[in-house]
Amino acid sequence: MIATWFVALLTFLYLGLLFAVARFGDRRADAGRSVITSTVYALAIAVYCTSWTFYGSVGRATTGGFSFLTIYLGPTIMFLFAAVILKMIRVSKTLRLTSIADFIAARYGKSQLLAGLVTVIAVVGIIPYIALQLKAISFSLKILFPDDAQALIPDALESLAFMPDSTAVIAIILAAFTIVFGTRHLDVTERHEGMVLAIAFESVFKLIAFLAVGAYVVWYLNDGFGDLFARAEAIPAIARLLEPESINFGNWFALTLLSGLAILMLPRQFQITVVENVDETHMRRAVWMFPLYLLLINIFVLPIALAGLIQFNGQPFEADTLVLTMPLAEGTNLMAMLAFLGGLSAATGMVIVETIALATMVSNDLVMPILLHGRFDFTTRKDLSGMIMLIRRCTIVFLLFLGYLYFRFAGEAYALVSIGLISFLAVAQFAPSLLGGMYWKEGNRQGALVGLLLGFAVWLYTALLPSFGKSGWIASDFITQGPWGIHGLAAHGLFGLKTLDPIAHSLFWSLLFNLGGYVIVSILTRQNANELATASQFVNINSSASLAPKIWRGTASADSLIELLKRFLGPKQAQSRLQRYAKDRGISKIGELKADADFVMFAETQLAGTIGSASAHVMVSSVVQEEELGFDEVLNILDEASQVRAHSRELERKSAELEEASRELRAANEKLMEVDRLKDDFMSTVTHELRTPLTSIRAFSEMLHADPEMAEEDRTRFLGIIVGEAERLTRLINQILDFAKLESGRVDWQVEQMDLRELVDETAESLGQLFRTRGADCVITLPEDNLPVLVDVDRDRIKQVIINLLSNAVKFVPEGNGRITVHLSRANGFAMVAVHDNGPGIPEAYQEIIFERFRQGGNTMTDKPQGTGLGLPISREIIEHFNGRLWVESTTGGTSATGDVIESGSTFFFTIPLSDA
């Protein structure tokens, strides 16, 4: 048994720690050092996991097997559609929206009626959910202290007549926390950094607590996962929970969709995810970290449920509190305390954020409109900021009091136990008007109103009232029999649809009516000018928020707007924001501000952060004389705005094109420089190549000139050398000219169809004398079919290539023992000529180099040049002109791995496409 004082001490220590964390966060924020990092933001979003998760998931798993996971898979999937969440954040930041009611109202022309309706739905749907958290706290205390309802209250105070129970004490502490850290700023759009840090801390705490209990149950009370699963498999009633057959897939999909919508629409989620977001990039982490959190907090749910079912096999037990009762039953008090504090943190986190969110909605969208429209004369007060703050704080207390009352009133009733999903259903009704408003410009106020009313009515009838009926508060016949015995109107079998689970049934009909009403009425009715403007701003917020059209025309006094701001924001705050606004526009004094459309919009947006967009619009309208803009006028303005956007896009496109063009120019310039360098290289090589024979001619001529007595034999030899070098020089110049012509594309190609067989034969024959002089044999092998090998080429040019290859071969074969083979064949639509020689071969490193200009195989420093170095490059140019290829395969000889002698030699191949004919 745990001592009462010890539990009380730990509870208050925990709550004290929460205050300390929040205080730390606020102090850091005040010092300009924000504590809201992307990790803190992602953890704070886990406020989604309430005591319903902490205790309830295990309870659901004992009867529904895996179905509890839908509540967490839905949000996981929804967070992957981060584009939707980012758009919500962007719209809210731009328009300084404070709550989901404000968001929907702002989209539909800042309608107070719509904001009020959304607030009412949220309050009706969420207050019981807050009550459920208080019930969880109360229930856990009851398990720890079955006989003492005032366990957390010192005995000396228990005798006081007005002293409430322990749950009320915790509710009071939570109200104090919410007031201190949730209403620090008048402007709701200013962040509550301390509160967010405290919520993130609670998320970590409840996760650690749940994982600790899970590990305790799995490894301390049992022998691990395998043991638990094996024992569960042995009991058929439990084993069926682990099979897909236990899943109702229609219900599974409905719950996934429902929880996916709830993660966007629940007021507390909107508060943390959208309003408290300080940096859009924080979503990058939230996208995966929040789902990871959900995965971790669920990993032990089924094992704990199985352990409970095995332990209490067949006997009645309270499944919802297994997390707490299992350690208690084993007498592990420390673990029981950790579980209690984990459940407490899950409940308190939800209560704090949900109360702040609802209080903002109630004060801005219910209380303020009543005050503004009522007899309250706000013009007599110079500073309303204190009063607004008081209203918000009173609303917090009132909402928590309502939650507490509902908890006390409902007690163990079904209406409270089942409220989790019913609350989800209530907020899911916001989805059509909120999501439709962000992506569909034609959606209008009347459509949203009708859709919400229909959805809310169907929700009341098919979800909330049946829970009252099952609690015994009202007659329950209508649930299955229908009112007055009309079966088609049965709350759980509307229009005869009885196959769906009650939650899936309610979701289907409420969303169908809601969406149907929204779409049909929006199509049938027309937006007013104001709505049209905001619709455009919401839908186009991603394209460019700064280009949003300012649709306003009228006369206003800057002084009265300034006065209005000072009255609602407080003089100091108003002064500071006005100065910033003036500075941005290059105006030194606030008094010089002009009441143009921009300033009116600025004033309205600033007020929206404090009293909501709908009330702000009413207040600003009260001090300016707005001229009604015609629908066509607004359309024109929007058209202009979209033209501006189009121009902006056009500019972006042109800028991208310019960048591309400049990139291409840079590349072209680099290519030109490369060509220039090649030209220089070419010139220098040509000069060098010309100088070599010239030097030789000059040297021998000088020798002949200087020595008239030279022997006849020497004279003849020298003259022979001079003639040879002169011939080489002529050949070189011819080839240079030829190559230059080829490179510049100035060759006059005489293309004709011809038989390559004849050409090869004829060319080889014409070089017969050369072969004989060198003592080389030339063998020609032609296709055996004797059919012509027709190609479309310039006869002389191809002949030039064959001559070039054959004379190269002759040059390199061994004198007296040379073997040259010319082989002609056809393959794959190409004619192929292979010229093989048994020369020394070309080392692999030179096999590609020899096709470059003035490059030859061998050592250029020591070997005597064997040609001009232009023959092969020219040949390749010619062959490539006719879409063919020219390459070499060569070996320098040696011995193979098996010991065989490999003969050296080279084979030059070229291919040319065969004629089509």
Partner 1 sequence: MPKAMQKTLLKLGIIGIGSLLLFNYPLLSLYRGTIGEWPVLYVFLFVLWLVVILIARRIAEPSTGVLYKPNADREAP
Q: Which residues bind partner 1 (CB under 8 A)?
A: 34, 36-38, 66, 69, 73, 76-83, 86, 225-227, 229-230, 233, 242-245, 247, 249, 252-253, 256, 278-279, 281, 283-285, 287-288, 291-292, 295, 299, 302, 542-543
> Tokens 């962040």 label which residue?
191
248 vs 65: CA distance, rounded Å: 11
Helices and strands (H and E) in the chain: how many? 39, 11
Count CA atoms within 13 Å of residue 583 on its CB side.
6
**Cβ closer to partner 1: 80 or 475?**
80
Pairing mode, strands 885-891 and 818-827: unpaired
Nearest distance in Å: CB 233, partner 1: 7
**Cβ closer to partner 1: 223 or 674?**
223
Nearest distance in Å: CB 259, partner 1: 12
Answer for the pair 95, 110: CB distance below 8 angstroms, yes or no. Answer: no
- Residue 543 burial (CB count, 10 A): 13
Nearest distance in Å: CB 450, partner 1: 29
Nearest distance in Å: CB 72, partner 1: 9
Across 627-761, where does the E strand assignment appear?
751-755
Nearest distance in Å: CB 287, partner 1: 4
> Tokens 């004389």 label which residue?
625
Torsion angle in degrees (nearest 10) through CA of 75, 77, 82, 88: -40
Locate 780 and state its tokens.
């020609």
**Cβ closer to partner 1: 38 or 579?**
38
Torsion angle in degrees (nearest 10) through CA of 103, 108, 109, 112: -70
Interacting residues of 556 by C-beta distance below 8 A, sequence separation 6+: 595, 599, 600, 623, 624, 625
Give which of 514, 546, 523 is closest to 441, Cα–Cα: 523
* Residue 429 three-state SS: coil
Answer for the pair 616, 604: CB distance below 8 angstroms, yes or no. Answer: yes
**Cβ closer to partner 1: 34 or 476?**
34
**Cβ closer to partner 1: 245 or 785?**
245
Which secondary structure element, helix H or strand E, spans residue 585, and what is its range? none
**Cβ closer to partner 1: 288 or 495?**
288
**Cβ closer to partner 1: 66 or 424?**
66
Nearest distance in Å: CB 230, partner 1: 4
What is the C-alpha end-to-end distance of the chain, expressed in Å?
Answer: 104
Nearest distance in Å: CB 750, partner 1: 54
Nearest distance in Å: CB 649, partner 1: 12
611 vs 101: CA distance, rounded Å: 12
- CA dihedral for 17, 278, 362, 364, sign (positive or negative): positive
β-bridge partners, 885 = 911
Interacting residues of 909 by C-beta distance below 8 A, sequence separation 6+: 832, 833, 834, 835, 885, 886, 887, 888, 889
* Residue 553 three-state SS: coil
**DSSP code at position 838:** -
**Cβ closer to partner 1: 80 or 520?**
80
- Residue 863 burial (CB count, 10 A): 10
Locate 914 and state its tokens.
């065969």
30 vs 45: CA distance, rounded Å: 23
Concatenated DSSP letters of 123-173: HHHHHHHHHHHHHHHHHHHHHH-TT-TTTTS-HHHHTSTT---HHHHHHHH
Interacting residues of 675 by C-beta distance below 8 A, sequence separation 6+: none
**Cβ closer to partner 1: 155 or 233?**
233
Locate 56 and state its tokens.
């309830």
**Cβ closer to partner 1: 226 or 496?**
226
848 vs 839: CA distance, rounded Å: 18
484 vs 467: CA distance, rounded Å: 19
**Cβ closer to partner 1: 256 or 804?**
256
Answer for the pair 853, 872: CB distance below 8 angstroms, yes or no. Answer: no
**Cβ closer to partner 1: 251 or 838?**
251
* Residue 440 three-state SS: coil
Nearest distance in Å: CB 36, partner 1: 8
Nearest distance in Å: CB 218, partner 1: 12
Answer for the pair 399, 130: CB distance below 8 angstroms, yes or no. Answer: yes
Q: What angle in degrees, to the nearest 10, is found between the helix axes of 445-459 and 502-524?
A: 160
**Cβ closer to partner 1: 66 or 739?**
66
**Cβ closer to partner 1: 228 or 454?**
228
* Residue 780 three-state SS: strand
Nearest distance in Å: CB 576, partner 1: 18
Nearest distance in Å: CB 81, partner 1: 5
Answer for the pair 260, 75: CB distance below 8 angstroms, yes or no. Answer: yes
Nearest distance in Å: CB 279, partner 1: 4
**Cβ closer to partner 1: 656 or 779?**
656
Locate 43 and state its tokens.
């953890």
Answer for the pair 569, 610: CB distance below 8 angstroms, yes or no. Answer: yes
- Residue 749 burial (CB count, 10 A): 12
Q: What angle in degrees, to the nearest 10, is found between the helix axes of 419-428 and 249-265?
A: 70
273 vs 282: CA distance, rounded Å: 10
**Cβ closer to partner 1: 256 or 348?**
256
Nearest distance in Å: CB 510, partner 1: 21
Nearest distance in Å: CB 910, partner 1: 48
**Cβ closer to partner 1: 284 or 526?**
284
**Cβ closer to partner 1: 232 or 515?**
232
Nearest distance in Å: CB 491, partner 1: 27
Nearest distance in Å: CB 208, partner 1: 19
Nearest distance in Å: CB 438, partner 1: 14
